[in-house]
Structure 1
Amino acid sequence: MRTHRTNRKQRGRRSGVVSVEMALTMPLYFTLLFGAMEFARVNVVLHTMENSAYEGARRLIVPGSTAAQGEATALAGLTAVKINNPTVTVTPDPLTGIETEVTVTISVPLNGNA
């Protein structure tokens, strides 16, 4: 019958190495992880702002639409992803029906949204 023997002296000298390595690397790992998550959230906010401005402008090119309808369309996209305190501006306001260009501007405070 064979028995397996371990060298207890060698194991005892290295017993805390894994704990020390983890204590040194985990702060860096979590910093990178949470930084990537924040970067992703900022990208979601920026993309949603761009898409909502696009949808608001598309609503405004329909004959007979008003600036309030364009603002409401843009705000609907922003509230769908829980963006707080957005400001939507439509120029020109009021619409006369002969505009060749309509601009929808959205501004969002980054504090509380990212």
Structure 2
Amino acid sequence: MKIHTHRRLRFDRRCRTGAVTVEMAFCIPILLFLFVASADVIRYNLLRNVVAQAAYEGARTALVQGATVAEVQTAVDDTITAFNPKLNYEVTVNPGTLPTLAATIRVTVDCDLSSDGWIVMGKFLDSDVSHSIEIRNE
């Protein structure tokens, strides 16, 4: 009886010699895709936060007495290019000339992230990110 069991175990072992290789061939591409896609989602979220921070820095610059739209543009440029100088973005300051009296100032940063993604960006996530800050100048 013991000999029969020994043969049976040896037979089962021979049939499963390539099982690990086949399982890894299926699992590694899926795991690699999930890893790169999650890194892409993290990068997308980081870029959204950079755009929001750039709009905030532009609005803070606009609050300074005597500030110009060019200075607001420079503040936004400095914030975005510190992270990624290749991003395509547009800055809108409303009103076009910054008032010295009490008024509401709106700084909007529109950014196209479609050229900056690897897998997920542009295919599953919205590639156009816009952030607007409205501050009252007192």
TM-score band, normalised by shorter chain: 0.7 to 0.9
Root-mean-square deviation (Å): 1.6
Task: State the match for 1:3 in structure 2.
Answer: none
Q: Residue in 2 aligned with 1:64? A: 66
Give the equivalent residue in structure 1 for 2:80.
78
1:35 and 2:51 aligned: no
Does the Cα contact within 8 Å between 2:87 and 2:113 map onto a contact in 1? no
**More moved, 81-90 vs 53-62:** 81-90
Q: Which residue of 2 aligns with 1:97?
A: 100
Distance 1:48 1:84 in 2: 11
**How far does residue 8 in structure 1 lie from its aligned partner after superposition?**
5.7
Equivalent residue number for residue 112 of structure 1: 115
TM-score normalised over the length of structure 1: 0.85
Q: Which has the higher strand share?
A: 2
Identity of aligned residues (%): 31
Structure 1 partner of 2:133: none
How many angstroms apart in 1 are the aligned matches of 2:19 and 2:106?
Answer: 61
AA aligned to 2:108 is T
- 2:27 is aligned to 25
**Aligned-pair CA distance for 1:50:** 0.1
Normalization by structure 2: what TM-score?
A: 0.71
